[in-house]
Structures are given as structure tokens and as C-alpha cells.
Amino acid sequence: MKDDNCIFCKLANGDIPTRSIYEDDMFKVIMDAAPATKGHCLILPKDHAANLYELPDETAGAAMILAKKLATKMTKRLHADGFNLVQNNGEVAGQTVFHFHLHLIPRYNDDKNGDKLCWNHEEFTDEQMDEIHELLVKDSTPTFTPEEGDVYAALAKKALETYVREKKIITDEAELPAELLSRKAPCFVSLFVDGQLRGCVGSAWATRPAIAWEIMEFAVTAGTYDVRCEPIKEEELSKVVYRVDVIGDMVEVDGPETLDHKKYGVVVSDGVAQGLVLPDMPEIEDVQHQLETAQSQAEIMPGTPVSIHRFEVERHEG
């Protein structure tokens, strides 16, 4: 939550104008108004936490992933000779604004601070700050800002459009939202054009280090290699609706009585093969149809004893 009395909350949430070099659902990264060196920036969480001790583990992990991504980019763009990550907690440790923030400080052989962590502020004019800001943001891949909608669906869209238009797979972490690099979870990506399913690919178990990689792989595969559907053509990209379903825990059930095809997905298995159907799919009419479809996908013969697991999904659309 935002603290209305916190200046960093106001900066992170856009209430006060500032030079920003990155923004996603969790963070805003701004240029420090009293920089230690050229390019000195701050990572600010949008939700208030006074210090590291109050910061949720998920946010702390995402902050470090983002710091790595930006430090790599800034070092290249600014031709820095080194880099400091500085994070203070408590007045005695040098904290002066009590909202968690992580300093990104490019270091140069000729900067004024030598090997010190307690820096002397360098003076830059507004024009110089604007030039540095432009250097950091120019030719950047557009970030996943809240205005673009759901970040999960936005990443699926970016992956498929990049592949269809440029025949390229995104491999650079610097192009990916930090929150999806800090989360590991299984998912499915479904694509719809004019209300018709045009591809659905995924896994009930996480197979990659972060969900970002799962989403991109499944979006490209669903749009170009799902043998049940025609591949998405470039002229259709503007009409594609993207759905990313993050798979929840599997719960074994005794039969169809506890199922609801709108609420739950199902996995049907004979111990060797298994079929999965997501919840609330437009072509699925009822629970019996959902179970039959899952069994058919796994090529399990009718009448074969099977186990049934249900699961809920965290659905993202855009």
C-alpha cells in the first residue's frame, strides 16, 4: 500500500514528476536528484515498506533481479568502470528517507569518490541530467508499465509478435519484467482470434527457472506450432486475445461430483498417459465434456480406470 505522507511513495506512483528510466507493476526506477556519479539511480517499490526488514520476500527478490538487469544495461550505456549497489537501513546506517530504496551507482576511474561508499555529491546541470537520462532510455525495449494492461498477457503478446514479425526469440533478460523473472510457476498460454481458439500450449509443472520463460515459449508455440490450429499470421496479430493461466495446486477427487468446468481445470490419468483441460474454455460444454476431452487428449480408451485431479488457475488476459 502507498503511504500518502511518503515522498518516495509519491515519486514511485507518479504523483511527483521525475526522470524515470524503468517502470513495471512493482517498481519505478528514477534518477537520483543528488547523484553520487553520472547515472546514479534509485529502485523504488510502489508499495510502501520503510526498510529491508519490512519488504516482502517476493519484492526483495524482484528488486535484486531488476538491479542486475539495470546495472548491466547502465554499465554498457554509460561506459562505467564498476558498479555499486547500496541499500541502507536505519538512521545509523545512513538511511534518510524511510521507504526502501536501492541505489544503483555506476563507478568511474575518475569519479570523485575513489573507493569510498560514503559519496560526495557531484553537481550536474538540468541539461546534463537530461542528456544522461536520454542516454539511459534511448532505444530501450518498451517496459511493461501498468498502462499496457496485464503484464503476463503483455509478455505473451510481445513474444509472439516478435517471433512472427522478426523470426526472433527473446533471450535478453533486460527485456523482461522483473516480477516474472522472480516467480517460478507452471502455466498455459491460450490464443483467441474473433472468439475462436487458435492455440493452447503449456505445462502443469514448471519446467523453466522463471515463469517469464514459460510464457514466452508457450506463446510462440501456441501461435505457430499447435497442430490443432492454423498458425497466427502477421495480419492477424492485432486481433489476438492472450490468456495466461497460472496453474494452482492439484487436488485429487473421487469423481465428477466435485467438479465445475467453469471454475476448475482437470487432469485425467491412467498412470501412464494424462490429459489436461483448463477451466472455462469456450468449447467445453459441461463437466462430462471436460473429462471426455481430457481423456481423449491422452488417448485413454473409454472405460479405462483413471485418476482425476482438479486445479484452479490465476487467469491473466489482454
pLDDT per residue as tens digits for the range 97-120: 999 999 999 999 888 776 666 666
Residue 1 lies in a domain: no
Cα dist from 305 to 140, 300, 301, 309, whole Å: 55, 9, 9, 14
Secondary structure element (H or E) that encloses residue 27, with its range: strand 27-31
101 and 13 fall within a common domain: yes
Note if 101 is an active site residue.
yes
Residue 2 lies in a domain: no
Residue 205 lies in a domain: yes
168 and 96 fall within a common domain: no
173 and 56 fall within a common domain: no
What's the average model confidence in pLDDT over 233-246? 94
- Please name the residue that has the C-alpha cell 488457475: 313
36 and 63 fall within a common domain: yes
196 and 310 fall within a common domain: no
- How does the average pLDDT of the chain come out, rounded? 89
Coil, strand or helix at 209: coil
174 and 208 fall within a common domain: yes
Helix-then-strand count for the chain, H and E: 7, 13
Q: Which of 40, 48, 101, 103 is catalytic?
A: 101
Q: Domain range holding 184? A: 145-242
Q: Which of 56-65, 127-136, 156-165, 291-300 has the lowest mean pLDDT?
A: 127-136
Q: Cα–Cα distance between 309 and 291 in angstroms, integer?
A: 11
Residue 317 lies in a domain: yes
| Total structural domains within the chain | 3
Whichever domain contains 308, its CATH number is 3.30.1490.150
Closest CA to 304 of 315, 317, 291: 291
Q: Which of 179-183, 262-266, 267-271 has the lowest mean pLDDT?
A: 179-183
Closest CA to 175 of 142, 202, 207: 142
223 and 310 fall within a common domain: no
Closest CA to 83 of 106, 111, 116: 106
Whichever domain contains 218, its CATH number is 3.30.700.20
Output the pLDDT for position 192. Answer: 94
23 and 39 fall within a common domain: yes
At 216, is the pLDDT very low, low, confident or very high (cuts 50, 70, 90)? very high
254 and 197 fall within a common domain: no
pLDDT at 2 over 70: yes
Residue 261 contacts residue 282 (beta carbons within 8 Å): no
124 and 203 fall within a common domain: no
Output the pLDDT for position 191. Answer: 95
219 and 266 fall within a common domain: no
pTM: 0.57
Last residue of a domain, one of 88, 119, 137: 137
Last residue of a domain, one of 137, 159, 179: 137
CA angle 230, 221, 151 (to 5 degrees): 110
Cα dist from 181 to 58, 184, 213, 242, whole Å: 11, 8, 8, 19
Output the pLDDT for position 141. Answer: 47
Q: At what angle do helices 57-78 and 126-137 cross, to 10 degrees?
A: 100
Closest CA to 249 of 293, 281, 206: 206
Last residue of a domain, one of 118, 137, 156: 137
18 and 115 fall within a common domain: yes
Sheet strands side by side (includes 265-269): 251-253, 307-311, 265-269, 274-277
pLDDT at 42 over 70: yes
Strand ranges in 71-218 using DSSP code E only, listed in sequence order: 82-86, 102-107, 187-193, 196-202
